[in-house]
Amino acid sequence: MEFFGAGLSADALRRRVGHMSQLGGVRLLTSDNGPSRGVRLLEFNTGTGFSFEIGVERGFDVGRCDYRGASLAWIPPTLLPAPWYFEDQANFGWLRAGLGGFNNTCGLLHIGNPEDADVAHYNFPARPVDRYGVHDRVALIPAELVSFGERWEGERYVIEAVGRVTQAQTYGENLVLTRTYRAVLGESAFTMEDVVENRGYLPTEHMLLYHINAGYPFVDEGSELIAPTMGTPRLLFGTADLADRASWSRFIAPQKNWIQQTFEHAMRPDEDGTVEVAIFNPRLMGGTGLSVSYDAGSLPNYIEWRMMGEGQYAVGIEPCTNGFGREAVRQAGQLAVLEPGESRRYRLRVAIIGTDEAEALRRRSA
């Protein structure tokens, strides 16, 4: 979908509107019904039919995300509930409240299934061991809204929001995630830049995974995952014929009694260290896909969640700092430890692509 102001200068656009929100921008709303009541939402609109909502109280993650009326995201039956409904945080409560919407940030201490961890270094004898629930808790921590708005940068109208999420406890971690979203009027894309900093005074372990939940109609029978994979993936959960590439790269109609499949892929980055993956549906709007690009240096691992069940019909695009299994990660020397004052930076780009871009990515991935 072409931006209505395509070809016009910044001055020409300003002359044609009473306020730039007539074309796009960001506005702050609040959900007032159902389980998400009280959650503030930052609604981004880029003027191309591409829009998305950031749940401020939902870890500053993206919930709904749409292109020309087609959802990029899998929306759960629970309708993205507020974080005060997060229960059983040491086990699988995340599945009741956390999973769903376009992106769930997982971490900041743990990713994967529930596990115990030695936390004696926090010097609290009453709790020498702590238990981290599935994918930890950052996706359900309310953020501080630092800023949001729009501005002209030359001929580009930049739409931006900044939020801060603090995962901390007495006698424990003090990690702060500062996230910046940027979009440009006239483009069907956004970037998400994260800085995770240890603001405590003791070393702190750190894991991070972006659980991007692509759903129908981008995921449908005949859709495919295009990615620069290397070799045969590792099957973490479920069953699959790994000799058949379609077992992980092609998607099928919803199946009864489906058991999830989780694959770990090795990816080949571009010359600049970027990995780009896409889910492309050749039947959607003449051929339309969701592209996710990320830095392989900071996110060296990649997980694919292939969930072809009835109602639970989604594909997870999940770049991450490490694989699953905390002790195995530690023994492999892949468990990050942030020293006091140390920080790590992450960046993702989400974009809508068409047939030409999908073909170009397919050639690069071959």
Please give the structure tokens belonging to residue 161: 């929001």
In this structure, whether the domain defined by 70-142+188-365 belongs to CATH 2.70.98.10 is answered with: yes
Q: What is the dihedral of CA 146, 152, 158, 164, to 10 degrees?
A: -10
Residue written as token pair 């059983």: 88
Per DSSP, what are the bridge partners of residue 350? 190, 292
Query: Quick check: 188 and 352 in contact, CB under 8 A?
Result: yes
Query: Quick check: 275 and 361 in contact, CB under 8 A?
Result: no
Query: Quick check: 240 and 247 in contact, CB under 8 A?
Result: yes
Burial annotation 123-153 (CB, 10 A radius, 16+ → b, else e): eeeeeeebebbbbbbbbbbbbebeebebeee
How far is residue 304's CA from residue 282's CA, in Å, rounded to a whole number?
20
Residue written as token pair 């549906």: 281
Please give the structure tokens belonging to residue 132: 């981290």
pLDDT at 207: 98
Q: Return the SS3 of 51.
A: strand
Q: pLDDT truncated to tens, each residue of the chain (366 aa)?
A: 679 889 999 999 999 999 999 999 999 999 999 999 999 999 999 999 999 999 999 999 999 999 999 999 999 999 999 999 999 999 999 999 999 999 999 999 999 999 999 999 999 999 999 999 999 999 999 999 999 999 999 999 999 999 999 999 999 999 999 999 999 999 999 999 999 999 999 999 999 999 999 999 999 999 999 999 999 999 999 999 999 999 999 999 999 999 999 999 999 999 999 999 999 999 999 999 999 999 999 999 999 999 999 999 999 999 999 999 998 899 999 999 999 999 999 999 999 999 999 999 999 998
Residue written as token pair 């995974």: 209
Phi, psi of 168 (to 5 degrees): -150, 160
pLDDT at 2: 79
Burial classification of residue 271, based on how many CB atoms lie within 10 Å of its CB (0-12 exposed, 13-18 middle, 19 or more buried): exposed
Q: How many CB atoms neighbour CB 323 within 10 A?
A: 20
How far is residue 60's CA from residue 278's CA, in Å, rounded to a whole number?
23
pLDDT at 116: 96
Q: Where are the alpha helices (DSSP H) in the chain?
A: 10-15, 94-97, 246-249, 326-331, 355-365
- Letter for the amino acid at 149? G
Phi, psi of 306 (to 5 degrees): -110, 100
Per DSSP, what are the bridge partners of residue 288? 281, 354
Residue (of 63, 21, 287, 269) closest to 157 by Cα position: 21
Q: How many CB atoms neighbour CB 49 within 10 A?
A: 17
